Amino acid sequence: MAFHGFSFKKPAGWTRKKGTRLVALSPQDPTYAQLEKHFQDAWKHPKKPKPQVHAIFEIVLTEESLIAFLRYRALVEISRVPRNANEQLLFHGTNRACLLGDERTRTRLCTVTGCLLCSVIRNSFDVGKCGKRHKFRRFGTGIYTTACSSKADDYFNGIPDSPYRAVLVNRVVVGNPLTRQYNAEELTELPFGYHSVVGVPGADLNYEETVVYTNDAIRPAYLIIYAADVPPELRVADLKSILSTLFKTPVAS
């Protein structure tokens, strides 16, 4: 699917305000419809019902951040034949300790230490910080994204006051991916000529994931807020699975 690229032109509706980097997209905006479809089509977990999209925001980067990304993308582009950085729009779920995006006007980023969502929107990703968050790193210390929105949803953690959940849609310079079916936790750098690792489903993975190891290979582009409603039958299924794990005995259905 075609998306307009990052641009130095600020989106319509953008007013420079301290602590804000989001512009709400109108549901009538063609980009809103494209992103909603992209999110819904990428929702692959059969047991998780497709959620309703509540709001979509465009993320406005600083010029400095945009220039660093474009510089890296150009380097990857000229190293490949044909010239193409293989940029993809991939999902990332993380902790949200505030109510950012719950209403179209709620666009002020918070400064709560545990609110990684606001931190990523403010300063983009930091491979050092991403590496520290999870003990298990399937493909080493890198920045993890996925083509599967329902997988990114697994990594979302919110506060109980909100009926919504959130994922980031990111522009990722995938370049030449090193594809792996098996975990490789020892991975710290890529072999010459590669720009990312793509974990393919089959052996150790159920759903795709893409890892980059350079901060400038990725920028958050959009924030999707969606309903957190879980139908009652799924809650029962979850409860059975929790009970069965706790007591290590199957629960009769």
Using the rule CB under 5 A, is 118 a contact of Zn ion? yes
In the bound complex, what is the minimum distance in angstroms from residue 196's beta carbon to Zn ion? 28
Using the rule CB under 5 A, is 212 a contact of Zn ion? no
Which residues, other chains included, contact 241 with Cβ-Cβ below 8 Å and sequence gap of 6+?
none
Stretch touching Zn ion by CB under 5 A, among 92-100, 147-155, 168-176, 214-222: 92-100
| Rounded-to-integer distance, Cα 72 and Cα 69, Å | 5
Give strand ranges (E) for 75-123.
87-92
Using the rule CB under 5 A, is 115 a contact of Zn ion? yes
Q: DSSP for 25-76? A: PPTTSHHHHHHHHHHHHT---TTSPPPPEEEEEEEPPPHHHHHHHHHHHHHH
Nearer to Zn ion, 95 or 149 (CB): 95
Using the rule CB under 5 A, is 110 a contact of Zn ion? yes
Binding residue for Zn ion (CB under 5 A) from 98, 152, 197, 218? 98
Q: What Rg value do the Cα atoms of the chain yield, rounded?
A: 19
Go through 109-131 and write b for each residue having 16 or more CB atoms within 10 A of its CB, e for each that does not: bbeeeebbbbbbbbebbebeebb
Q: 10 Å Cβ neighbour count for 199?
A: 25
Stretch touching Zn ion by CB under 5 A, among 97-105, 196-204, 216-224, 228-236: 97-105
Confirm if 153 and 48 have CB atoms less than 8 A apart: yes
Can you name the residues that pair with 211 across neighbouring β-strands?
Answer: 144, 197
Using the rule CB under 5 A, is 237 a contact of Zn ion? no
Nearer to Zn ion, 42 or 100 (CB): 100
In the bound complex, what is the minimum distance in angstroms from residue 11's beta carbon to Zn ion? 21
| Rounded-to-integer distance, Cα 38 and Cα 50, Å | 12
Stretch touching Zn ion by CB under 5 A, among 11-19, 108-116, 143-151, 205-213: 108-116
In the bound complex, what is the minimum distance in angstroms from residue 49's beta carbon to Zn ion? 26
Stretch touching Zn ion by CB under 5 A, among 35-43, 104-112, 152-160, 214-222: 104-112
Using the rule CB under 5 A, is 22 a contact of Zn ion? no
- Which positions lie near Zn ion, rule CB under 5 A? 98, 100, 110, 115, 118
